[in-house]
Structure 1
Amino acid sequence: MSLMRPMDPAFPIERQISVDASPVVLVNSFTLSKDDEAAFIEAWKADAAFMKAQPGFISTQLHRAIGESPTYLNYAVWESTADFRAAFTHPEFIEKLTAYPSSAVAVPHLFQKLAMPGFCVA
């Protein structure tokens, strides 16, 4: 992947993975050239297959922006930051990033669900 940009420059993914939390949700948005969408999908599927086989992986879902926007959003649930960190820093995963088209820009960030009485549970 040509570029990984932080959603919050003061607390990028490299810092987030050192915080012990569970469960966690990875939200990762991608922008890319429209011409690179097929290559992006193939690279994402290879990543998803790798991640699915890792301890602590719960689920993932890829979304595409509506209309003509070649923008994607990946939502993945992990049992803990420790599990995500092990997968995210694994040499095999890092190698897979080279398969992404050069136009792809990823913006990953980790979150935790919040309970809001009357609206949602954590």
Structure 2
Amino acid sequence: MLQLRPLDPSFPIERQLATDAAPAVLVNLFTLAVDDEPKFLDAWRNDAAFMKQQPGFISAQLHRALGENATYLNYAVWESTAHFRAAFSHPAFRSSLAAYPSSVCASPHLFRKAGVEGICDA
């Protein structure tokens, strides 16, 4: 089963789930042993297929870091934190975490768009 390590220890995913934002962007950084990549990808594929069927899911994209180490970044967009909270808390999803190899460390964090004048809109 994977380990959870917050990106911001003072505001872990459990606290983020209690906030209201729409839309919400999940960024999840995964580190793992290179030998575990095939099992990781199978587990992630199954979780992504489940999430794709959940209300409020918009999109997801998995990225592999350049280099020899097995580091992945998942970027998923949800209609709201409420939708993500329902999917993340679903018993079927929670039980699926046991399929990840023990070397996998996940650092999920929710974000909202930020506006920067002249560059991007919130």
TM-score of the pair, normalised by structure 1: 0.98
**Residue identity in the other structure for 1:72:** Y
**Matched residue, 1:76:** 76
Alignment of 1:42-81 (within 5 A): 42-81=42-81
- Report the equivalent of 1:102: 102
> Deviations for 1:61-110, whole angstroms, at most 9, x for unmatched residues?
00001120200000000000100000000000001101101100000000
RMSD between superposed Cα atoms in Å = 0.7
Write out per-residue CA displacement over residues 3-28 of structure 1, whole angstroms, 9 at most, x where no aligned residue: 10111111000000000111010000
Residue 109 of structure 1 aligns with an amino acid whose one-letter code is H
Instruction: For residues 9-62 of structure 1, give each alpha carbon's deviation from its aligned partner in whole angstroms, at most 9, with x where no partner exists.
Output: 110000000001110100000000000000000000000000000000000000
Tell me the secondary structure at the aligned position of residue 107 of structure 2.
strand
Aligned counterparts of 2:67 and 2:2: Cα–Cα separation in 1: 25
Q: 2:119 corresponds to which residue? A: 119
Unaligned ranges ≥5, structure 2: none
Q: Which amino acid aligns with 2:38?
A: A
TM-score scaled to structure 2, two decimals? 0.98
* Unmatched runs of 5 consecutive residues or more in structure 1: none
User: 1:2: how far off?
Assistant: 2.8
Task: Give the number of aligned pairs.
Answer: 122
Cα distance between partner residues in 2 of 1:7 and 1:116: 23
Number of the residue aligned with 1:23: 23
AA aligned opposite 1:59: S
- Distance in 2 (CA, whole Å) between partners of 1:6 and 1:68 is 24
* Identity %, equivalent residues: 66
Q: Are 1:7 and 2:4 an aligned pair?
A: no
